[in-house]
Structure 1
Amino acid sequence: MDQQSPPSPAPYSARIVSGLSELASGYDVVLSDIWGVLHNGESYFHAAADALTRFRASGGTVILITNAPRPHGPIREQLDRLGVPRSAYDSVVTSGDVTIASIVEQGGAPLFHIGPERDHALYEAVAQATGTAPLLKPLAEAGFVVATGLFQEETDTPEDYDADLAVMLRRKMPLICANPDLIVHVGDRLRYCAGAIAERYAAQGGRVIYAGKPHAAIYRAALDDAAAKRGAAVRPERVLAIGDALRTDVAGAVLQGLDVLFVTSGIHRDESHRTGDGQLDPDAYQAMIEAAELRPVAAIPALAW
């Protein structure tokens, strides 16, 4: 008798929702990305803030979880400057928060910093945590490297750092990547992030220590924060992640066993919004998700209630 092949798995059918309200009753906690979901670096999205505020008003807890390479304090200040209401979230957890521990683990070795000077708030936080300020040195005198971004964010490309990467590779220097994102939209402009440098270094055989999504440490910190806010343990099946990047937000949530709502108008808008009128193209979205082999619980063009 011929042996029958096992049945093929059912094809993934992308669910597209118009508002968080269609999902909210199934969750106690939302872990929401910030840049691309709540603001674009220049202005905040009122409908997104309203959706998170309404979720909290219904008894939910909102933790903003971001790959910003600074401690959460400066990120709260940025949200305040943009006008994001504090009613939209309970707390903020950043990849910068996670990076602090990685720097401390280097045992006081001097470091070389790649990124803008504003990110030095990270080192002030290390000093507050340990009582000793990290030693920032030129590359030739450093024991490891911390990348928070690019020096000239508007004009630099990852290729501009190849000479430094060659030195780092020759000396087998670890690179702590404080922001695993590859790119970000600032208004309508694209800007490279530290993750693009780290990816280039790793491809050459360099050792990279990642903080932030899609890696587990930032999710542990965010879920611990949510449990503290709620005064009880958080069940993973009652947690919904929200984000706009497949590589970090969606992949990270899937790796942690969390449901994820994918915001399609962020980083991937050119791939999924092909109709010419700014609307989500369901066929293009379906093809993108199948190619990525990731399974968001649902997609939404832009976060709203």
Structure 2
Amino acid sequence: MTEMIDSLAAIAARYDVLFCDLWGCVHDGERAWPAAVSALQAFRAGGGKVVLMTNAPRPAPAVEKGFQRLGIPDDAWDLIVSSGDAAQEAMANGAVGRKIWHLGPEKDYRFFTDLPEGLTAPERVPFEQAEGIVCTGPFDEFNDHPDDYRGTFLAAKTRGLKLLCANPDIVVDLGHQRIWCAGALAAVYTEMGGESLYFGKPHPPIYDLARRKLAQAGIDVHSDHVLAIGDGIDTDIRGGVGEGVDTLFITGGLEVARFGDDPTAPEPDLLRDWLKGRDTPPRFAMGRLR
């Protein structure tokens, strides 16, 4: 049974580490929510560690560069772990070949240029020469639809190309506009019979990377003392449950329209009925992170 809570502080003492989603929990793509920032600051002030775990298809340094614009201060987090980080490792190790075609917007080019020391990106080539695909999203995330790529995907499947999905999210909300993510394209490719490889939530590589980064920082934490926070029931929550950690579902994010008129206070009956159809119910739920 999912327990409704009013604030992170109500359960914070049980946990040493947060695996906290960014988009939909801490910010809306345009600005940070002050109450969410304050909650993370308070958790750290109490001795906890905050890992901002995002399905962004960009490496952690590129994610951090956006924090000043969004209004996320340095004292609200300890580590950033992105789907881009985990996917970079796989790409550099040849998961989809040494000549790859990039499907994604120009803003994601840093995925190929800002690699950690010791990793080398494969050669980016035109589609006709590619051994595999790296997908960071649609070319035009504001206007393209996943079905627009079916023709290209048919050709890719015929050639046996694997698709590395650097962001398993299906959609995100940029302010009041919903936009498609790489996960939606990978789902179409898989549905057509192609092979898609995933490295962000809910899949294990991003959690393995988070634990390695914590260990490198001298933090060895037991799963019982980790809380995964997110607004994606099939990414953040499913991933946390799969990793054996407690989960906190933020109802005022992607699914906000399902639970009543007040995004900060979901209607319990609506939430309970919706969760009945889910095989990975969260341990806790609240409207907005605070």
Shorter-chain TM-score range: over 0.9
| CA displacement, residues 199-221 of structure 1 (integer Å, 9 cap, x when unaligned) | 11111221111010000110111
Q: Equivalent residues in 2 for 1:46-61 (5 A)?
A: 46-61=34-49
State which of 212, 221, 228 in structure 2 corresponds to 1:234: 221
Answer whether contact 1:61 1:226 (CA < 8 A) is retained.
no
State which of 154, 160, 164 in structure 1 corresponds to 2:142: 154
Tell me the residue number matched to 1:83. Answer: 71
Tell me the residue number matched to 2:201. Answer: 213
TM-score (norm 1): 0.91
Q: Equivalent residues in 2 for 1:134-283 (5 A)?
A: 134-229=122-217, 231-272=218-259, 274=260, 276-278=261-263, 279-283=265-269
The number of aligned residues is 288
The letter of the residue matching 1:44 is A
Gaps of 5+ in 1: 1-11
Answer whether contact 2:18 2:227 (CA < 8 A) is retained.
yes
| More displaced stretch, 101-110 vs 159-168 | 101-110
Gaps of 5+ in 2: none
TM-score (norm 2): 0.96
TM-superposed CA distance for 1:223, in Å, is 2.1
Tell me the residue number matched to 1:28. Answer: 16
The structure that has the greater radius of gyration is: 1
Answer whether contact 1:37 1:266 (CA < 8 A) is retained.
yes
| CA displacement, residues 5-34 of structure 1 (integer Å, 9 cap, x when unaligned) | xxxxxxx3x311110011101000001000
| CA displacement, residues 18-69 of structure 1 (integer Å, 9 cap, x when unaligned) | 1001110100000100000010110111100100010000000000000000
TM-superposed CA distance for 1:286, in Å, is 0.7
Tell me the residue number matched to 2:26. Answer: 38
Give me the CA root mean square deviation: 1.4
Tell me the residue number matched to 1:111. Answer: 100
Percent same amino acid among aligned pairs? Answer: 38
Distance 1:121 1:301, change over 3 A: same
The letter of the residue matching 2:7 is G
Question: Per the alignment, in what secondary structure is the counterpart of residue 152 of structure 1?
Answer: coil
TM-superposed CA distance for 1:133, in Å, is 4.5
